[in-house]
Every structure is written in structure tokens, then in C-alpha cells.
Copies of this chain bind each other. A is one copy, B any other.
Amino acid sequence: MKAKVTAHDVARLAEVSQSAVSRAFTPGASVAPDTRERIHTAARQLGYRPNAIARSLITRRSRIIGLVMSYLENQFYPVVIERLCQALQQDGYHVLLFISETEDADNVLKDILQYQVDGIVMASTTLSSALANDCIHAGIPVVLFNRVAQIGTLGGYSTSSVTSQNRDGGRLVGELLAGNGHRRIAWLAGAENASTSREREAGLCDALSAAGLQLHARGVGHYDFAEARRAVLAMFRDPASRPDALFCANDHMAIAALETLRTELGMRVPHDVSVVGFDNVPQAAWPSFDLTTVQQNVEQMVDATRTLLFQQIGGEVMARSVAVPCVLVERGTVRASGVARRPIQNETHETPETT
């Protein structure tokens, strides 16, 4: 528990100036090799580590990215945190994590701004206009992850975003279901104001129209387990007009739907009804669910986020939106058509080569 070791202490021991110490720890700075060696030895001896706070103050770069999340129960987000955090660590950045319910988002942002983060990734709430203004004002790059800015919210400015090609993803599912002979296709939305949900629904409807169909039923689950359950019960209340397929805006709700259909309504999946999700969370591959879904490519989404972030940190001012392709992962929750389609096991969560 000694007093903190500073560059001055190291300088004294190595008999150089404090500037030299600083240079010895700055990649690319001009220091004689043996000087640097001497300094590093002294530093090691004293247990010196450059103070990143002091460095940030003078360089005006904190190398900290603020990551704003809301609920982590949907297993998609832990995966995102893990990947994003690791990638940014390798880039020499660090992640200051904020958990924010929609209501206090503004307070959270105030906190973030005080910490002089170099950029912000928002993977939770939609950005309020006040926040957006603050960020633009402060010149802090913001990237929306898995959502896009609502037009009009930002007073003319737009904000960069990274999403999947949600509409295409929705269309793939619509084509699969319609092509398989489903005729009473239902949609379980996330939140009505969530771009992810709206886009996926639009894609679904595109495919249905093309097949001469329209949505048979529609519910809203707010991306929540219990709410999804209620919505499913409502959609399936009338046995005479039950859907023969249910596409859910994410896997989290699709799993809730599976549970509800089986346990509470006694329905067999896919025999009585097909179910499809979106995300491809780890649980979707568990045998109990074996859920057909659309995979969001987290790897690519994270890469795009880093690229956008660094471009903006580097001075690029144009906001850009990147949409990453997604792919259908066919598992066991969709009834195969009588025709020719055989169920394809695209992916399993484990390699059973060893027993």
C-alpha cells in the first residue's frame, strides 16, 4: 500500500528527465535504445505504470468506449458484450458499461459524457433527442447497435447504426413458411417502436404478399418472456382460427412461445404449429428447443461497429448505416412441406464426434 509511483520517481532512479520516461513508454517516440532499457528497468523495479487518467487529460483521448445496454436476459446481448469488449480490448480501448432502463437514459448519458468517452455504442434504448444533441454538441461519436435512429428524433442529424438486414431476414422466414404450405401465418412483434421488429415484420409481409397471403394474426410481446406468453395465449385462444405458423421477432420470445404452446396449449411443434425466431442465441440450439431461426452475425456486426466508431473518432462526420447479411438456420421447429424439402440441420451446438 505504498504511495503511487510516478514518472518522476522513475526518472530519478534512472537518472533521466521525466520527459524521457514518458517517451520510453510511448511507442514510436525517439529514445536511445539503452536509455529506454534503463528506464524500463527502473520502472519495473519501482512497479511503475503510466497513469492513463493523466494521459487522457492531455491527449484528450480516454480510449474508453461507453456501452449502453438495458436488459441482459435476452441471451443475445451477453454474447454481444463479450465479443465487443474483447475486440475493443485488442484495439487498445476499454468499455465502460452502463445498464439503463429506458427512463433514466438521460441521466446515464450525462454520466457517460463526464467520463470523456471517445465514443458510445448504444445497444439498448432509442436515443432521446436531448441525448443525441448532447453527443453531437460534445462531438462524441455514437453508433447504434441493432437498432436505427427514429427519423425526426434527431433534429435533422442522423446517427450511425449497425444492424442485420432485418427485412431480408424476415423475408427469408416468410418464404420458408409460405413455401412450406403454411397458410395461417402469425407474427409476434417485439416493441412497436423498435426498428428491428418493424423491419422483420415488413420482410415477412413482403414474402406473404408475394405468395398471395396476408398476416393471419399478430401479437406484441415487448421482447419479454411473460408478455410473449400472454400474446401467444391470446393469438391461439380460438381453436377454430389458430395460426399454423408463428414467427417471433426474437429467439427469446420464440422460446417463450414454444414453452407456452407445448405446456399450456398442449400443441406439438412443428406438427400442429411451426415456430421461428430471430438471433440464433445459444439456447436455440439446445435439443429441447431446436429452434429454426435467423442468425444475426455478431462477429460482423461487432466489426462494423468498430470500423464506424474509429472512422468517426478519426474525424469522419458523415453518419453511416451498415446492415449485415443474416442467414436462415433451419432446425426442427418448422414443418417440412409435403413436396421435397427435407429438414436440413445447418448447425448443432456441439460436435458429437466423441462419446
Contacts and interface: CB of A to CB of B under 8 A. Distances in A.
A317 interface: yes
Interface string A52-72: 111011001010100100011
A113 interface: yes
Nearest to A77: B78
A306 interface: no
Nearest to A355: B233
Interface in A265-294: 282-283, 286-289
Given A49-B113, A262-B287, A99 B89 contact: yes
A119 to B, nearest CB: 14
A263 interface: yes
Q: Give this chain's copy count.
A: 2
A272 to B, nearest CB: 17
Interface residues of A, number: 69
A108 interface: yes
B282 A226 contact: no
A1 B317 CA distance: 9
A89 B69 CA distance: 13
With most chain B CB atoms within 10 A of its CB, the pick from A56, A67, A94 is A94
Interface of A: 1-2, 4, 47, 49-54, 56-57, 60, 62, 64, 67, 71-73, 75, 77-79, 81-82, 85-86, 89, 94-99, 108, 110-111, 113-116, 134, 136-139, 225-226, 229-230, 233-234, 255, 258-259, 262-263, 282-283, 286-289, 317, 349-351, 354-355
Top 4 nearest A-B pairs by Cβ distance? A72-B78, A1-B139, A52-B114, A226-B350
